[in-house]
Every structure is written in structure tokens, then in C-alpha cells.
């Protein structure tokens, strides 16, 4: 086990999270000078993308696992967030990340999973408040949140977005639910976004993802980085990984995201071993910055020498999980 104690690599995350805690924050993660350009080009990108899939994903609520012969009290899972949480662009529920994860969880737990999908296309972090209200009505055992892309494309101040996400995670945790957050994907791979906006959004989305990681850890949840998983692989294979609108993932893209999150969902419920080899421990800010560069990296809070925090902030643990199908049970 390797312990890393110092870093200057996560200053952006520290600034954003500090501003969120103080109720302030600058206009954007990159400064006010980029704001006009960002808004103008973001509006153009949204016009190019359009809404070829409408605003609804396929109906995915239901009980999964009974088709495998599993019985018993279902695990209650809520899925919150934006269009990626509802699998926008898919025609079959089976191709959505929520259903893929629900079925995978059922296979590992050998119990049914009661899935409730509460995400909404176009949702920003501020919209999580209402989604959490509805999720808590079902008393979930675990909640998954995919959020952040619309905060970037709508130029939401990062500190504001992080504050809303942290509040959502804290409410769910206080109600007894485990929480796994898929952080903001790398929007620099989206082809309809032109340069220099693509470069700006790449930096902005990665800064936001790092700050989300810190905020979620402090609220008691765990994160899985989407920045790399939906980054170079999507950039290298856009025809395969993106859907027809060149913005939302294809079925293969959603499958890749689901496989990245599923082990963390199982681990959060104590159903999957937490391997020690390859685990890195250090400052939450450093590990948040490292996570957004690595495929499917999971970050959780930890203790070092019995302490929750050190000179550089709260201690955290980073685990590089391999993406791909879960082993069969």
C-alpha cells in the first residue's frame, strides 16, 4: 500500500470545494474571460446536437434478477442524474446503464434488485434536490448519480454545482443509502463542440470532476471517474462509442460506463472484495486529480494511522479497477 502525502496537482479542486463550502466561487473554473465564448459556442453545439432522441429514456423501473431465479427481499436502488442516467438514445431498457448495473448487482448478490430511475435529460446538479426527494420515498439501499455534463455546457459556476451535489449525497447518506457518483465526463471528446471550446470544456469538466470527487467523499459517498473512460476511448472510436447525435453514448458506450460503476456499487454494499494491492492512499485533493486521469478509478474516504485527515486535508483511497464484464457468480 502506497501513501502519498503532498501534492500541488489538485489546486483547482481545492479552490472549487473551498468556494462551495463558503457559498461563493468565481464565475467559472477557468475565469470570467472565457464565459462569453463558452456560452456562445455551447449554444451552437446544442443546436448542432439537437434532440434526435427526444427527452425520455426507455422505461426502466422494475424488479431485475427474478428472471435469473433469484428470490428474497429486493435490494432497492435509485438512479439519479442527467440524460446518461436514463440511457437517453436507447430503445431498450436492457441497454441503459441503470438496468445493466441492476442486473449485475442482482447476479452478485443473488437477490432481486428493485430499480427506480429518477434522472432527467438536461438535469444539472441543482436538479438533484427534487430527484433526491423522490428517491427517499422509496428508502433506497443504494443510489447512483451521473451528473455534471450539463453544468459545464450551461456554464454553471463549479462551486455552485459541487454544493448541490454534496447536499444530495449527504441527504441520501443520512437516510441510510450508500451512494456512488459517476463524475463529470470529459466533454473535450464531443465532436459538435468546436475549438477552442473543446479545449476549455476538457479542462473545465476535469476540474469539476476532481471537485465533485472531494465533495462526495466528504459527504460519505464514493466516486467513479468517467473523465478517462469517456475520454480517449470515445475520442479514438467515436462511431462506436457515441450515438447518432454524436453527444450521447451508444449502447457500447453506456455498457462501458456501467461496467466501470458496477464493481463500486457491489463494494459499497459489501458484496465485492476491496482489494489492497494497487490501492493508493493520500490527500483527497491529490487523489481526486489523479482519478480523473484514470479509467474507472474509484475514490473513497479512508484512515491513515487511525486519522481521517492529515496536513494536506482528508485522507482518501484510490483504487484502479479494471473495466470490463464482471466475473460470473
Catalytic position from the list 53, 82, 83, 151: 83
- 151 as an active site residue: the answer is no
Is residue 60 part of the annotated active site? The answer reads no
* Catalytically annotated residue among 7, 94, 245, 309: 245
- Locate 8 and state its grid cell: 500541488
Polymer length in residues for the chain: 329
Q: Does residue 248 carry a catalytic annotation? A: yes
CA distances for 158 relative to 24, 149, 204, 275, 328, angstroms: 10, 11, 9, 33, 40
Options 248, 264, 283, 297, the catalytic residue:
248
Cα–Cα distance measured from residue 276 to residue 267, given in angstroms and rounded to the nearest whole number:
13
Q: 313 — alpha (psi -120 to 50), left (phi > 0) or beta?
A: left
State phi, psi for 3 to the nearest 5 degrees: -115, 125
161: left (phi over 0), alpha (psi -120 to 50) or beta: alpha
**What distance in Å separates the CA atoms of residue 232 and residue 226, rounded to the nearest whole number?**
11
CB atoms within 10 A of CB 59: 10
Catalytic residues: 83, 245, 248
Amino acid at each position: 500500500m502506497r501513501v502519498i502525502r503532498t501534492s500541488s496537482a489538485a489546486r483547482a479542486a481545492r479552490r472549487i470545494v473551498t468556494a462551495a463550502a463558503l457559498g461563493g466561487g468565481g464565475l467559472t473554473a477557468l475565469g470570467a474571460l472565457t464565459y462569453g465564448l463558452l456560452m456562445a459556442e455551447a449554444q451552437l453545439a446544442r443546436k448542432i446536437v439537437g434532440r434526435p432522441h427526444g427527452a425520455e429514456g426507455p422505461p426502466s423501473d422494475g424488479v431485475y434478477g427474478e428472471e435469473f431465479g433469484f428470490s428474497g427481499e429486493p435490494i432497492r436502488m435509485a438512479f439519479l442524474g442527467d440524460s446518461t442516467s436514463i440511457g437517453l438514445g436507447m430503445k431498450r431498457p436492457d441497454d441503459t446503464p441503470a438496468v445493466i448495473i441492476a442486473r449485475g448487482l442482482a447476479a452478485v448478490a443473488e437477490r432481486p434488485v428493485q430499480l427506480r430511475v429518477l434522472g432527467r435529460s438536461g438535469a444539472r446538479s441543482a436538479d438533484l434536490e427534487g430527484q433526491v426527494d423522490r428517491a427517499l420515498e422509496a428508502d433506497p439501499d443504494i443510489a447512483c448519480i451521473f451528473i455534471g455534463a450539463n453544468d459545464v455546457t450551461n456554464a454553471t459556476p463549479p462551486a455552485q454545482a459541487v454544493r448541490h451535489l454534496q447536499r444530495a449525497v449527504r441527504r441520501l447518506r443520512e437516510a441510510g443509502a450508500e451512494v456512488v457518483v459517476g463524475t463529470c465526463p470529459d466533454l473535450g471528446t464531443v465532436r459538435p463542440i468546436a475549438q477552442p471550446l473543446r479545449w476549455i470544456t476538457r479542462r473545465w469538466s476535469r476540474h469539476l470532476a476532481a471537485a465533485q470527487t472531494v465533495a462526495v467523499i466528504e459527504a460519505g459517498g464514493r466516486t467513479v471517474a468517467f473523465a478517462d473512460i469517456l475520454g480517449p476511448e470515445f475520442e479514438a472510436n467515436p462511431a462506436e462509442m457515441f450515438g447518432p447525435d454524436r453527444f450521447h453514448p451508444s449502447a457500447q458506450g453506456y455498457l462501458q460506463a456501467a461496467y466501470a460503476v458496477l464493481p463500486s456499487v457491489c463494494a459499497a454494499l459489501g458484496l465485492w472484495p476491496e482489494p489492497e494491492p494497487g490501492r493508493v492512499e493520500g490527500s483527497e485533493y491529490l487523489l481526486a486529480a489523479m482519478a480523473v486521469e484514470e479509467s474507472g478509478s474509484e475514490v473513497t474516504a479512508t484512515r491513515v494511522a487511525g486519522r481521517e485527515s492529515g496536513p494536506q486535508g482528508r485522507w482518501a483511497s484510490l483504487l484502479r479497477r479494471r473495466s470490463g464484464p464482471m466475473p460470473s457468480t
